[in-house]
Structures are given as C-alpha cells and as structure tokens.
Structure 1
C-alpha cells in the first residue's frame, strides 16, 4: 500500500539495521523527526545503603518498655514511700479530726513535718519495708523449691496448681506477719518521740513479736493477727490478678481495633515491646484499683497490728506535735464496727489523699520516663540517607 513502505522497519520488533548501526532509534525518518520514548529510571531503594528503620523502631520500643518497667519498680518501692508513711499514720490514728481525704490538705502538713523534723521523717521505715518484701520473696522461693507448689501461676494451669499456689501465698504471708508488724511500727512511729531503729531491728522485733504469745495488756497475740492478715493479703492478691487480666485483655482488644482502623494490622501487633508496655500498664492499673477497693480492710488490719505496741505517731492534724495510739479492739469485726460508730464510714478512708498523691506521682514518673526514653531513642537513631533520583536525559535535551 502507498505510504506504508518500511512500516515493519519502524514499528515491528527491533530493526536489524539500527542495531547494527549502534543506534537504538533513528533521529529522522523520511524527513520527519522521530519521537523517542522516555527513559524511565528504575530505582531500588531497598538496595541503597540505608539503615533498617523498622528494626530500629522496634529496638527503641523494646528498650523504652524495659526502662519503664525498671522505673516503675523503683518508683513502687522507693519514690512513693513518703506517701505510704503519711497514709499509714492517718489510718492508725483514731483520734484525728482531719481525715485528709483529698491531697490538698496533706501538702501543708508535709511542709510542717519537713520544717520541724526534716525531710528524713517521710522516709522512715523504708529499710524495714524493703527487707520484709525481700523476705516474702525468699520465703515463697524456698517453699516452691521444697514443695511441688508453683511460685507463679498462669491461666493455663490446672485448678490443683492454682490451689497449691494460693496455699503457698497463705503460708508465706503467715510467716511474714510478725515481721510485717515490726516494719509497720517503724513506718508510723514519730522520730522525735522514739529512738531511731537500726536497719536489722525488724528481725529482732519480729522475732520478739512471734515468741510473745502471752496477752499482755492490749497487745493482740500474733496468732490472732495471722488469720485476718492472710485473708487481707490473699484476697487483695486474687483481686489484683483478676483486674490485671481484664485490663490486659481490654488493652489488647483496643490495640487490635486501632490497627484495624488504619486498614491493616501492624507488623508488631504482638511484638515484645507492645506486650511489655501493656503488661506494665495493666500491673499499675491493677495495683491502683486493688488499693482503692481494699483500703478500708487495710485500715482495720493496721490498727490491729499496732494496738498495744505503745507507738507514738505524728499528729497530722497540725504536723507539729505527736500523739499516742490508744485503742482497745478485740477483733477485726470489732475494729470495723468501732470505726463506723465513732468515726463514721469515712473513718475507714483516713489518709486517702496520700493514696491519690501516690498514684499521681507514680503515673507522672512513668509518663515522663516513657517520653524521655522515646525522645532519646529518636535522637540517637541514625537518620536515613536521602535517595538521589536520576533525571532522564530526555528532559535535558528538551
């Protein structure tokens, strides 16, 4: 057909005369300029020398979780101890007119205690508290080694294993009870009206309390304190486990829904860093909820332990004087009824403002730690190198 000469040479396959000439496309054909296709550069960013950003993010999240867990442990054992001291002093004082249900009423009292006795007065008894916690862990570990009872329990264990675990808790709490009483005395007694105890006096005082089985005055024998203390400790422990499990489950479901809202599951949906973060938050929530729910029972238990010990505590109505503890309870039921009748239902919640301050400080420390570690990790993480895009020579020719 006319006008179609050389059609195959232009559009069909690769022309042999062009390949032999070393030119991919002719510049002109039959006097007309030939438009060449664009040279699209093929870029492989994965082949560039870039750092693995995703792996670095996972590593940073892992270390942030480890740091938050460590800080939570330190905060729960050391930093919040002043609020534990204030809370217990309010709980065991039956003659106090100010209940300190809100944190704002405790601030001026803390200032006066610092002015009259120094800042150390809010850290009294911390050595004995740590020793008692260490003794509890040691006793549980020893019992788990000499018996088939498990020190830790999971949801996959049988009912028999769960019962043995609860029995281990009951025995360990019963053994530690006299030393807990001695530690409680060191925590609440006033430093200006009592001798400063030694770091190992908790063992001596606990042994004396254990061997002193005779009922002298208003002092309640240790064998009468063991049952209510075990009931309080085990009930609070079981409640903490339930709240922790429910909270952890809710957090997992919420995280899953947040990933579904983004259109796809994240790569680290169940990664170690996410699980660790959820574990830390669920533990904190379970401890807070358990402390609030069992606060009245804790008030009763502490008053029973201190009755007849001739302990003199700081008067938190003013923060400048001291007052002796004079009670005459016969049992935990009698203590509860007496508090309700003489101090009202809110008497069971004396010092609740200190508990609120304790939770607030713990939460703020964790948030600040997480933010600081995240920012440090972001600053130290190597930045990706920019990808250089090669321009087509066709645009230069135009």
Structure 2
C-alpha cells in the first residue's frame, strides 16, 4: 500500500521473519520451535490403480446355472432310472399285495434284488429308454421341417400356432408308440426269467408290434393303444406347460418382493443367472406335479401296453421271486374299473414310493451341484486387493 513501503511485515506483533520457511506450503520452525502442520496422507483412488481387481459375479452365476442344468439333464435321464424300473414293476402287477406307497417299504426289496440278481438289475432297459427319447426328438424335428408345424411355442404364440404344435405332438407320439411299448417290456421284465435284450432290439420289437395288426390272444393291437397313449402324453404335456408358466410367474413375483423388502432393486432382478435358476426350478416343479397328477392314468396305460406280451416281472412283494403278467382288459375304461373294483383306489398308485424317491434324489443332486459349483466359483474368483495408505514421515520423526 502507498506509504507503507518502509515497514516490515509483522505477524501477531512479531516480525514475520521469525518464521523459517522450507520447501512446501507450510513453515517448519517459528522462533526456533518446530511447527506441527497437517499430515500429508496420500489418497489413492481405486480407478487410478494400474491393475484393479476384476470380480465378475454374473459370469460365475452363469456357469453355476449351466452346471445345474447339465446335472438336471443327467439325473433325469440316467440317475433316476432305477426308480423308474421299480415304479413300473409295481404299476403293472395286478396281483401284488404290497402297494409300496412309501419309500421305506422299497428299501429291503432293493437290497434283496441286488443280492439275488446283481447290481445291474435296476438298470435294465436304460438303453431302449434313451433310444426312444432320442427317436421322439428326431421325429418331432423331422416333422417340423417338412411341415409348417412349429416344434416350440411361446406365450405369445397364436391359437393356430398352438394347435399346429399340439398336432405335431400327437403325430410324433403316435409314430413312437410301438417302440415305447417295446421299451416298456425291457424295463419291467425280470433278467433271471428272460434273455437279455440287445441294444437295438427295441426297434425290431417295435416294428413287429407295429406290423402285427391281428388280435392274438390277449395282446391289444397297437392301433387301439395309440389313442389313449396320445391322450395321456398330450394331457400331461399341456399340464406341465401350465404349471411351469404359473410356477415361473410366482417365482418372479416372489423374487421381486424380496428385493422390495430389502429397500431397493438389485442389478440381479432380471439377470441371466436369476432367470436360469427360476427356469430350472419351474421345470422341476412342473415335472413333479405332472407325474403325481397323471400317475393313475400312467398305471392304466402301462398295463394296457404289457397285456398279452408274456412278460415275466420281479415279484416286489418279496424281491426274491418272479411272477407272470396275466390280465384281460378290453379298454382303458375297463382297466380303470377293474383296478378300482379288485385292488381299490390305491391300486392306481402302486409304486408311488419309488416316485417319491425319484423326486428326492433329483432334488438332492441339484442342490448338491449348485452348492459345489458356487463354492468352486467363490474359490476361483479373484479377491480385491486391499489399499494401504502411506504413512506420513512425521510419524517416523516421533
């Protein structure tokens, strides 16, 4: 300021020259005494790191879903086959006194079968079952390519498209029915009372059953078995679609409500992993529900297919002997009335304990697979690096 050029700068009544300045924004000493100044703590932003940790939870969840789907496919086609064999043997035996409605009654029977016939006794017919399933898929694919009938439908499909899809199912089931009948014989016949079939015998026996239109004895012609088989398979398929859609919708709503209860929606609300998990659970629920609801009709259909085939099955009352199948049903309605009158209403549910065991094994395999893959993904996932701030040199001087 004008007129103050000759005066020295002062600070609190003392000359400012009493401060001893050093490199940096703060003075180091005042009148020979050390000055305490703010700590210089460096701040390292995570985005400024050279190698930031990459944690991809969505990728891990995606592989967990794929692994569970593969485990469900293997379980549904291979691991549960012994329970399918037990269930069918119970269903088709009209003279059985033990209905095996609960799984606990089947445990000693399984032990005796293994003791008398070996460990492979409950895996009979698995090759023919897989061949018939593959044949069904191949026939559907072929028909969908030579006709305008769609192989798959969605909730947005028109009524015409839906009708064409059902027509595709009916035609493919009708074509595969003779081979399904031959496969059913292989899964229930006793290995100690019959020859072991070859892996391709199902095609030979199915062709013979298809070409044999004459009514020999009690054998029901295949053209008589096709209509009830189509009704059973298509009704079960439609029921499965309905239950699957309802279950999927309920699970989506429940997941949404769980997110609302936490206060906000997470990024996983409609992520691929969540959709895969809901889809897998809805498929399992719909399959179980359809098997339970249509179990009596399945019993009737299986008895009609085996009538007159001279099949000898294991006697699951004891697990140590065999018994022939001797029935004389004239139609599906007659079979149903005969079972009700001679075996009671529970006769339609013979072997239901094997179905419960099948559900339990399927559920436990899926849960174990999901837990194992989740733990594996957690171990293999890279962990974020901890950021440690550098200490100020001031602490080293103390």
Q: TM-score, normalised by structure 1?
A: 0.91
Alignment match, 1:385: 385
How far has the Cα of 1:289 moved from its partner? Answer: 0.7
Give 1:171 deviation, angstroms.
Answer: 0.5
Q: Cα RMSD (Å) of the superposition?
A: 2.3
Secondary structure of the residue aligned to 1:266 is: coil
Is 1:222 aligned with 2:222? yes
d(CA) in 1 for partners of 2:327, 2:268: 57
Q: 1:31 to 1:362 in 2, by over 3 A?
A: same
Whether the aligned pair in 1 keeps the contact of 2:153 and 2:165 (CA below 8 Å) is: yes
For residues 292-311 of structure 1, give each alpha carbon's deviation from its aligned partner in whole angstroms, at most 9, with x where no partner exists: 01000000000011111111
C-alpha distance in structure 1 between counterparts of 2:326 and 2:296, whole Å: 19
SS at match of 2:89: helix
**Partner of 2:282: helix, strand, or coil?**
helix
| Partner residue in 1 for 2:53 | 51
3-state SS of the aligned residue for 1:322?
strand
Q: Which residue of 2 aligns with 1:198?
A: 198
Q: State the Cα deviation string for residues 95-119 of structure 1 (Å, max 9, x = none).
A: 0000000000001000000011111
Q: Does 1:75 align with 2:75?
A: yes
Q: Which secondary structure does the structure 2 equivalent of 1:252 belong to?
A: helix
Residue 361 (structure 1) aligns with: 361
Superposition pairs of residues 103-252 of structure 1, within 5 angstroms = 103-252=103-252
In the TM superposition, residue 214 of structure 1 has moved relative to its aligned partner by 1.2
Compared CA separation, residues 395 and 258, structure 1 to 2 (3 A):
farther
Deviations 1:185-226 (A, max 9, x none): 001011111111111111111111111111111111111111
- Cα distance in 1 between the residues matched to 2:24 and 2:80: 81
* Per-residue deviation, 1:30: 8.4
Instruction: Specify whether residues 33 and 113 from structure 1 end up closer, same or farther in structure 2 by C-alpha distance, changes over 3 A only.
Output: same
CA distance in 2, matches of 1:317, 1:47: 74
Cα distance in 2, alignment partners of residues 316 and 191 from structure 1: 14
Instruction: Note the 1:286-305 alignment, pairs <5 A.
Output: 286-305=286-305
Could you tell me which residue of structure 2 aligns to residue 312 of structure 1?
312
| SS of aligned partner of 2:335 | helix
Match of 2:186, SS state, is helix
Question: How many angstroms apart in 2 are the aligned matches of 1:88 and 1:295?
Answer: 11
The SS at the match of 1:203 is helix
1:68-125 deviation line (CA, Å, top 9, x unaligned): 1111101100010000000000000000000000000001000000011111110000
Decide whether aligned partners of structure 1 residues 259 and 6 sit closer, same or farther in structure 2, where only a CA change above 3 A counts.
Answer: farther
Q: What TM-score do you get using the length of structure 2 for normalisation? A: 0.91
Q: 8 Å contact 2:22–2:28 — kept in the other structure?
A: no
1:63 is aligned to 2:63? yes
Unaligned stretches of 5+ residues in structure 2 = 1-8
Deviation at 1:266, TM superposition (A): 1.9
Describe the superposition over 1:136-163 as per-residue Cα deviations: whole angstroms up to 9, x where unpaired.
Answer: 0000000100011110111111111111
Offset, 1:382: 2.3
What is the Cα deviation at residue 379 of structure 1?
1.8
2: CA distance between counterparts of 1:397 and 1:307?
99
Secondary structure in structure 2 of the residue aligned to 1:119: coil
Once the two structures are TM-superposed, the CA of residue 260 in structure 1 deviates from its matched residue by 2.4
Task: Measure the CA separation in 2 of the matches of 1:174 and 1:342.
Answer: 31
SS at 2:202 equivalent: helix
Which residue of structure 2 lines up, in the alignment, with residue 12 of structure 1?
none
Between the two proteins, the alignment pairs up a number of residues equal to 386
Q: Match for residue 24 of structure 1?
A: 25
Residues in 2 aligned to 1:230 and 1:372: alpha-carbon distance in whole angstroms:
40
CA distance in 1, matches of 2:305, 2:24: 100
2:60 and 2:377 in contact (8 A); partners too = yes
Asked if 1:269 corresponds to 2:283, the answer is no
Aligned with 2:120: secondary structure? helix
Q: How big is each residue's C-alpha offset from its partner over 1:357-382, in whole Å with a ceiling of 9 and x where there is no partner?
A: 00111111111111111112222222
